[in-house]
């Protein structure tokens, strides 16, 4: 577009907002990887200030004028024109933030770093009471935010919309009911099978070798280390500062190898999405969540999770992957894995047995973790569950859904980082990601008969190219449902996911 056009003027305003949001992301990444604990209070204020600046840029008279001129400029364009989508997304974001007091948005931003620091300490001490006051504030601010944003049936709907537009507490309840009907018999059948040997997963695995293998794994899947890096954190995450600088993190347990290995694969999936966004979208509305105020190229949290869960489970947690690459893992840990075969390793890392930790859960029980968190978040949002009663409610839900007695807060209510960062409403994205991942894999393999054999033989570039074409390149141009319709012919459908799990975990199938 010409530099002096109305659309170019609007793009310049969005680019400035994107720049500020990327600066916030850098400060957030630092706070979760390198910042000393004492920096939390001032870091929160710094992030709050920058959040205010981003809002001022978005809602300024200059942006309003540019938006009005751009609206006129796109009137004659086709309904699906890129420029019309750009203008519509800015319109939607401006309308949203006009409903939310800037002071409330900044207060939520300031709380995140402080609350996260409190959560880290509480988790280390396994003491929920250290985090509870911060969660009280987080929930109170979320309720205020929901009321300002607007909701019809349940206040949770407004929070889910930040991460997964179109979903509500009601729609999630329906999806979860369908999944439970398919998951629970599979989980029961898997648990009735003879136990798999797993002792070798809990040997001593030095961190340096875990990191070395993790980096090699990320590169094998296609992560470009010239535009990315791997660091250590308490709870793994991915963050991008444009597609040219994408950071992933993991955590290492010397006494449990899968934690870092699959965590790294998971975050690599996120990173591939961000690195695969069309370069033309850099600093544009298609690489900026103007409503959630994040510099991110993925169209929704669920779409993002579909990529991480796809690479983590469909590729790295497959029998073919370990038959091909187990000797590489053994070369990093020759003594620890000397008495293990590839099939034994595969059986161990796909063993279905409910546990306390969501990020370490098997594929059959994983979504049950998500569902109970969504139930809890709904109760927190409507006030039926006081924060003080949260540990008891959590422990009761784990006992009810997974049959486990939670031993302490660290392995229970304090295990996830999300509430400390204000991400109430984001947990459904993990299950949506699981569903979407299976749907995409089934569709892409049906469309290209060479894709499955390539993956089975260890050639992952064709899968990367297919996902880049179908999902990554589009950034935030299309919503989740439109992306799915374009790539699979229909909206979100749990049937391929349940079929995938049936094939993988039913007695007598490939898993056995």
For the segment 191-244, what is each residue's pLDDT rounded down to a tens digit? Answer: 898 888 999 999 999 999 999 999 999 999 999 999 999 999 988 999 999 999
Task: Starting at the earlier edge strand, list the strands of the sheet with 228-232.
Answer: 228-232, 246-250, 238-240
> Are the beta carbons of 272 and 455 closer than 8 angstroms?
no
pTM of the predicted protein model: 0.95
> Are the beta carbons of 346 and 362 closer than 8 angstroms?
no
SS3 239: strand
Residue 145, classified by CB atoms within 10 Å of its CB into exposed (0-12), middle (13-18) or buried (19+), is buried
Q: Give the whole-angstrom CA distance, residue 338 versus residue 361.
A: 26
Place of tokens 């793009």: 11
| Pair of tokens at residue 447 | 């469309």
Which residue out of 167, 238, 267, 274 is catalytically annotated? 267
- What is the DSSP annotation of 361-413? --TTTHHHHHHHHHHHHHHHHHTSS-GGGHHHHHHHHHHHHH------STTTT
Active site residue 76: no
What is the per-residue burial (b if ≥16 Cβ within 10 Å, else e) of 169-195?
A: beebeebbeebeebbeebbeebeeeee
Tens of pLDDT along 13-42?
999 999 999 999 999 999 999 999 899 999
Q: Give the whole-angstrom CA distance, residue 358 versus residue 372.
A: 11
The CA–CA distances, whole Å, from 319 to 27, 95, 104, 346, 458 equal 40, 49, 49, 6, 11
> Are the beta carbons of 315 and 450 closer than 8 angstroms?
no
Phi, psi for 375 (deg, rounded to 5) = -60, -45
* pLDDT < 50 stretches in the chain: 510-512
Tell me the pairing of strands 238-240 and 246-250: antiparallel
Place of tokens 């790295």: 316
Q: Which of 7, 104, 100, 8 is nearest to 59 (CA)?
A: 100
> Residue 347: what pLDDT?
95
Q: Which of 264, 329, 323, 320 is nearest to 454 (CA)?
A: 320
Q: Which of 151, 485, 100 is nearest to 293 (CA)?
A: 100
Q: Give the whole-angstrom CA distance, residue 406 versus residue 382.
A: 25
Contacts of 322-325 with CB under 8 Å at 24 or more apart are 322/346, 322/349, 324/457, 324/458, 325/220, 325/458
Q: Which residues are 231's β-sheet partners? A: 249
Q: Which of 498, 435, 457, 486 is nearest to 171 (CA)?
A: 435
* Start-end of H helices in 156-206: 156-163, 169-191
Q: Give the whole-angstrom CA distance, residue 398 versus residue 394.
A: 6
| Pair of tokens at residue 137 | 């504030």
Tell me how crowded residue 333 is: count the other CB atoms within 10 A of its CB: 19
Secondary structure element (H or E) that encloses residue 23, with its range: helix 6-33
Q: Provide Rg for the chain, Cα atoms.
A: 23
The CB-side HSE value for 281 (13 A sphere, CA atoms) comes to 29
């Amino acid at each position: 577009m010409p530099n002096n056009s109305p659309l170019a003027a609007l793009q310049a305003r969005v680019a400035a907002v994107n720049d500020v949001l990327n600066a916030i992301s850098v400060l957030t990444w630092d706070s979760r990887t390198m910042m000393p604990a004492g920096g939390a209070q001032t870091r929160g204020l710094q992030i709050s200030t920058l959040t205010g600046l981003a809002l001022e840029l978005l809602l300024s008279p200059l942006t309003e004028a540019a938006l009005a001129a751009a609206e006129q400029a796109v009137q004659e364009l086709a309904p699906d024109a890129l420029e019309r989508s750009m203008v519509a997304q800015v319109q939607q974001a401006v309308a949203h933030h006009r409903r939310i007091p800037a002071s409330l948005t900044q207060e939520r931003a300031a709380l995140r770093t402080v609350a996260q620091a409190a959560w880290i300490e509480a988790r280390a001490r396994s003491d929920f009471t250290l985090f509870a006051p911060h969660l009280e504030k987080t929930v109170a601010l979320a309720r205020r935010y929901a009321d300002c944003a607007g909701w019809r049936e349940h206040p949770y709907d407004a929070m889910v919309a930040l991460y997964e537009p179109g979903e509500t507490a009601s729609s999630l309840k329906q999806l979860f009911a369908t999944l439970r009907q398919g998951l629970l018999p599979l989980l029961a059948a898997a648990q009735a099978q003879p136990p798999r040997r797993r002792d070798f997963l809990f040997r001593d695995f030095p961190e340096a070798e875990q990191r070395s293998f993790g980096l090699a794994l990320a590169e094998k899947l296609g992560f470009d280390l010239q535009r990315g890096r791997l660091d250590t954190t308490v709870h793994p995450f991915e963050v991008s500062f444009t597609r040219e600088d994408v950071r992933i993190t993991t955590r290492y347990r010397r006494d449990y190898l899968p934690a870092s290995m699959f965590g790294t694969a998971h975050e690599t999936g996120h990173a591939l999405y961000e690195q695969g966004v069309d370069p033309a979208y850099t600093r544009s509305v298609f690489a900026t969540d103007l409503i959630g105020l994040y510099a991110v190229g993925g169209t929704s949290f669920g779409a993002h999770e579909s990529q991480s869960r796809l690479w983590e489970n469909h590729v790295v947690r497959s029998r073919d992957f370990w038959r091909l690459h187990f000797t590489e893992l053994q070369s990093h840990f020759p003594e620890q894995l000397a008495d293990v075969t590839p099939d034994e390793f595969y059986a161990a890392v796909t063993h279905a047995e409910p546990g306390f930790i969501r990020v370490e859960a098997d594929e059959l029980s994983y979504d049950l973790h998500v569902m109970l968190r969504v139930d809890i978040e709904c109760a927190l949002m409507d006030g039926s569950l006081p924060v003080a009663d949260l540990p008891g409610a959590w422990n009761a839900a784990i006992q009810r859904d997974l049959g486990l007695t939670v031993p302490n807060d660290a392995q229970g209510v304090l295990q996830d980082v999300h509430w400390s960062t204000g991400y109430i409403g984001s947990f459904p994205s993990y299950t949506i990601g699981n569903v979407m991942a299976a749907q995409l894999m089934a569709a892409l393999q049906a469309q290209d008969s060479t894709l499955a054999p390539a993956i089975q033989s260890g050639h992952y570039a064709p899968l990367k190219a297919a996902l880049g074409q179908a999902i990554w390149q589009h950034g935030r141009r299309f919503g989740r449902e439109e992306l799915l319709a374009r790539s699979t012919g229909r909206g979100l459908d749990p049937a391929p996911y349940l079929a995938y799990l049936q094939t993988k975990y039913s007695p007598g199938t490939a898993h056995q």
